[in-house]
Amino acid sequence: MSLMTRIKSIFRNKKSQNNFIVLVAVIVALCIYIMGVWSPVRQDTTFIINNGDSVSAVASRLNKEHIVYSEYLFKVAIKRMGGRVQRGDYDIPRGVSIWRIARMFANGQIATTTITIPEGLTVKQIKVLLSKSPKLVGDVECEKGNTAEVCNLHDGDIFPDTYRVAKGTTRLALLDLAHKKMVKIQEQWQRAGYITPRPLKTWNDVVTLASIVQRETPKVSEMPIVASVYINRLRKNMRLQADPTIVYALTDGYGDMRGAALLRGHLKIDSPYNTYTHNGLPPAPIANVGVAAIRAVLRPADTNYLYFVADGRGGHIFSKSYEEHQKHHADWRQIKNSRNKK
One domain, residues 86 and 118: no
One domain, residues 289 and 167: no
One domain, residues 256 and 327: yes
Q: Lowest mean pLDDT: which of 132-136, 152-156, 337-341?
A: 337-341
What is the tally of structural domains in the chain?
3
Domain-located, residue 101: yes
pLDDT at 99: 86
One domain, residues 127 and 181: yes
Over residues 212-232, the mean pLDDT reads 97
Contacts of 35 (CB under 8 A, 6+ apart): 73, 76, 77, 97, 98, 99
Q: Show which of 65, 90, 107 is a domain's final residue.
A: 107
Range from 36-40, 97-101, 142-146, 169-173 that averages highest in pLDDT: 169-173
CA distance 183 to 202: 14
Q: Is-above-0.75 flag for pTM?
A: yes
Q: Helix axis angle, 3-12 relative to 14-36, nearest 10°?
A: 110
Q: Show which of 41, 76, 107 is a domain's final residue.
A: 107
Domain-located, residue 5: no
Q: Lowest mean pLDDT: which of 20-24, 201-205, 254-258, 259-263?
A: 20-24
One domain, residues 197 and 175: no
Q: What range defines the domain where residue 29 resides?
A: 13-107
- SS3 state at 280: coil
Q: Show which of 64, 89, 107 is a domain's final residue.
A: 107
Domain-located, residue 3: no
One domain, residues 223 and 327: yes
123 or 69, greater pLDDT = 123
Domain-located, residue 337: yes
Whole-number average pLDDT of the chain = 89
pLDDT at 22: 56
Over residues 279-283, the mean pLDDT reads 97
Q: Lowest mean pLDDT: which of 19-23, 240-244, 327-331, 336-340?
A: 19-23
- SS3 state at 196: coil
Check pLDDT > 60 for residue 27: no
Domain-located, residue 8: no
One domain, residues 275 and 297: yes
42 or 129, greater pLDDT = 129
pLDDT at 292: 97
CA 23 to chain centre: 55
One domain, residues 42 and 91: yes
One domain, residues 60 and 117: no
pLDDT at 195: 85
One domain, residues 61 and 154: no
Check pLDDT > 50 for residue 155: yes
One domain, residues 62 and 117: no
Check pLDDT > 90 for residue 33: no
pLDDT at 244: 98
Per residue in 83-103, pLDDT (tens digit) is 999 998 899 999 888 889 999
pLDDT at 41: 86
8 or 112, greater pLDDT = 112
Domain-located, residue 7: no
CA distance 17 to 252: 86
Q: Helix axis angle, 291-298 relative to 223-235, nearest 10°?
A: 40
Per residue in 55-65, pLDDT (tens digit) is 999 999 999 99
| Confidence at 3, pLDDT banded by 50, 70, 90 | very low
Residues in the chain, how many?
A: 342
338 or 309, greater pLDDT = 309
Over residues 282-292, the mean pLDDT reads 97
Domain-located, residue 1: no
Domain-located, residue 67: yes
Check pLDDT > 50 for residue 190: yes
One domain, residues 92 and 117: no
CA distance 223 to 315: 10
Quote the percentage of the chain above a pLDDT of 90. Answer: 69
